[in-house]
Amino acid sequence: MTAQDRTGKALVKSSSPAGGRRTAPLRRSDIPRAGTAVRRAPGPGAVLGAVLDHGPVARSTVARLTGLSPAAVSGHSATLLGRGLLREERETTGPRGLGRPHVPVDIDTDRYLVAGAHVAVAHSTLSLLDLRGRVVAEDRRQHGSTDPATVLAGLAGRLPGLLDARGAGRRVLALGAATGHWVDPEAGVVVRHPQLGWRDVAMRDVLADATGLPVHVDSHSRALARAEQLVGQAATRESAVLLFVGAVVDAAFVTAGAVHQGPRFGAGSVAHLPVGTATAAGACVCGTSGCLQSEVSEPAMVRRATAEGLRVPTFPALLERALEGDRLALSLFLRRARHVGRAAAVLLDMFDPEVLVVVEPGAGRLPGCLDALRSEVGDRSWVCDDPERSVVPSSFTGSVLATAGAAVALGALYDDPLGPWPALPAVS
Ligand SMILES: [Zn+2]
């Protein structure tokens, strides 16, 4: 049956995930050159990326950083200034007034914002970020219902109020939307999210119709990997694995500077990696037991806490108890860290990334959890000999979900700043 919204428009659209999108064989010329980093892509995107990293910065320095000619940097800077994405800072001179004065450029954070929508199993988060990826506003609500039309209409309906209250007169360029499991960014569809009961939900079209904004969607793990590349840890630029541990457990991979999607956009399904022992307590929806998700997901943590006599209604309540120093709650997070460490060791051996980013509140906030996770990696990985350097917590601990949705829009903007962004002046 096709879900319908109030106007009768179909909410679902087939993305034919297994239908073979690629009709012609892959040719050598189709393959991007290895080692092509995001920031080394020529053109305005490279200039904007260099200013994001180093601004306020002189155009001559941008030329040195990007390998572009000074004339090309001047041209691209003028275009980006014209679009309101860059601004000029006050003129400066060299030490003691020597040298030619120059006017540095920086990202203009005063004119535009990107909005974010993240749909979790129990709640949804609406957010506003400035063009440096800083969270300006965040609004989280529990789901009354997980019906896709209700959830998406709720998110869209809250945006004007949040913008009025916290936007400080800035305009929204685009809305990014993210959720767990399997998302097809090309079709703009949530292909499958078993815990929400969503299948082939046309998230992009529904949100675009409801908000009038350009909408970009992706999986939250890929979105957070892109956010790390843009405004998080520079070590993620070339190669990285991001492991997301929440109510949903999934992953994303960065290779040769790009976040890998896979021809069906299903890359990163690590929920059923075997990390536990076969016990009734570790029974998984897949029919086996001891899977990563059935051992460490938020519902599994709450079930385990209850079984051990700690009465907590929700995962945030369990985390709060651990932060307050409750020994049983803390021990459950340490156990979680060791199980996540086992999965991290497998992923480090499989991909040998520059860095593995763990998105998990224990590793980010609780004493001993990151050490326990790294220690498990040290014991189990055949490839990683320096877990201190190779395994790091998320740059966005405390604002992960606010960052995830908006990062999809921010990534699209930095990939293509001259694209058709309706809020921006046309490129002259
Ligand atoms: Zn399983």
Distance from the CA of 288 to the center of ligand 1, in angstroms?
6
- pLDDT of 67 strictly over 70: yes
| 209-226: average pLDDT | 98
Dihedral angle, C-alpha 396, 399, 401, 405, nearest 10 °: -80
Q: What is the DSSP letter of 234?
A: G
Distance from the CA of 283 to the center of ligand 1, in angstroms?
8
Distance from the CA of 202 to the center of ligand 1, in angstroms?
27
Distance from the CA of 183 to the center of ligand 1, in angstroms?
19
Contacts of 417 (CB under 8 A, 6+ apart): 44, 45, 48, 80, 83, 85
Chain centroid, CA 394 distance in Å: 10
d(CA 77, CA 62): 10
Phi, psi of 110 (to 5 degrees): -95, -10
Distance from the CA of 235 to the center of ligand 1, in angstroms?
31
pLDDT score at 27: 52
Distance from the CA of 282 to the center of ligand 1, in angstroms?
9
Nearest CA to 115 out of 91, 131, 93 is that of: 131
Phi, psi of 40 (to 5 degrees): -95, 0
- pLDDT of 279 strictly over 80: no
Distance from the CA of 418 to the center of ligand 1, in angstroms?
44
Q: What's the chain's average pLDDT?
A: 90
Enumerate residues with CB within 5 Å of ligand 1 (an ion): 272, 284, 286, 291
Distance from the CA of 290 to the center of ligand 1, in angstroms?
7
d(CA 56, CA 103): 9
List the structure tokens of 150.
């209700």
Distance from the CA of 118 to the center of ligand 1, in angstroms?
24
d(CA 36, CA 238): 8
Q: In the structure, what pLDDT confidence band is assigned to residue 300 with cuts at 50, 70 and 90? A: very high
Assess contact for 208 and 193: CB atoms under 8 A.
Answer: no
CATH number of 235-394: 3.30.420.40
Assess contact for 267 and 253: CB atoms under 8 A.
Answer: yes
pLDDT score at 285: 86
Distance from the CA of 280 to the center of ligand 1, in angstroms?
13
Distance from the CA of 295 to the center of ligand 1, in angstroms?
9
- pLDDT of 92 strictly over 90: no
Amino acid sitting at position 139: D
- pLDDT of 29 strictly over 90: no
Distance from the CA of 369 to the center of ligand 1, in angstroms?
24
Distance from the CA of 360 to the center of ligand 1, in angstroms?
19
With tokens 């945030």, the residue in question is: 316
Distance from the CA of 250 to the center of ligand 1, in angstroms?
12
- pLDDT of 22 strictly over 80: no
pLDDT score at 2: 40
Distance from the CA of 249 to the center of ligand 1, in angstroms?
11
d(CA 428, CA 268): 41
**Which residue would you say has higher pLDDT here, 150 or 18?**
150
User: Would you kindly state where each structural domain of the chain is located, as residue ranges?
Assistant: 37-107, 112-225+402-415, 235-394
**Which residue would you say has higher pLDDT here, 30 or 89?**
89
Nearest CA to 269 out of 239, 293, 299, 238 is that of: 293
- If one counts every other C-beta atom within 10 angstroms of the C-beta of residue 1, the result is 4
Identical fold, 112-225+402-415 and 235-394 = yes
CATH number of 37-107: 1.10.10.10
pLDDT score at 19: 39
Give per-residue pLDDT as tens, 176-196.
Answer: 999 999 999 999 999 999 999
Assess contact for 82 and 427: CB atoms under 8 A.
Answer: yes
pLDDT score at 420: 86
Assess contact for 80 and 48: CB atoms under 8 A.
Answer: yes
| 139-163: average pLDDT | 97
325 burial class (0-12, 13-18, 19+ CB within 10 angstroms)?
exposed
d(CA 336, CA 355): 20
Angle at 367 between CA 364 and CA 307, to 5 degrees: 90
pLDDT score at 102: 82
Distance from the CA of 272 to the center of ligand 1, in angstroms?
4
**What superfamily does domain 112-225+402-415 belong to in CATH?**
ATPase, nucleotide binding domain (3.30.420.40)
Distance from the CA of 294 to the center of ligand 1, in angstroms?
6
Give per-residue pLDDT as tens, 359-384.
Answer: 999 998 998 999 999 999 999 999 99
pLDDT score at 6: 39
Q: In the structure, what pLDDT confidence band is assigned to residue 277 with cuts at 50, 70 and 90? A: confident
Q: Give, in order, the Cα–Cα distances in Å from 313 to each of 60, 140, 196, 305.
A: 57, 18, 19, 10
Distance from the CA of 287 to the center of ligand 1, in angstroms?
6
Nearest CA to 361 out of 310, 301, 304, 307 is that of: 301
Distance from the CA of 342 to the center of ligand 1, in angstroms?
15
143 burial class (0-12, 13-18, 19+ CB within 10 angstroms)?
middle
Distance from the CA of 309 to the center of ligand 1, in angstroms?
25
d(CA 363, CA 51): 31
Distance from the CA of 286 to the center of ligand 1, in angstroms?
4
Nearest CA to 208 out of 5, 400, 2, 427 is that of: 5
Distance from the CA of 298 to the center of ligand 1, in angstroms?
15
Q: In the structure, what pLDDT confidence band is assigned to residue 283 with cuts at 50, 70 and 90? A: confident
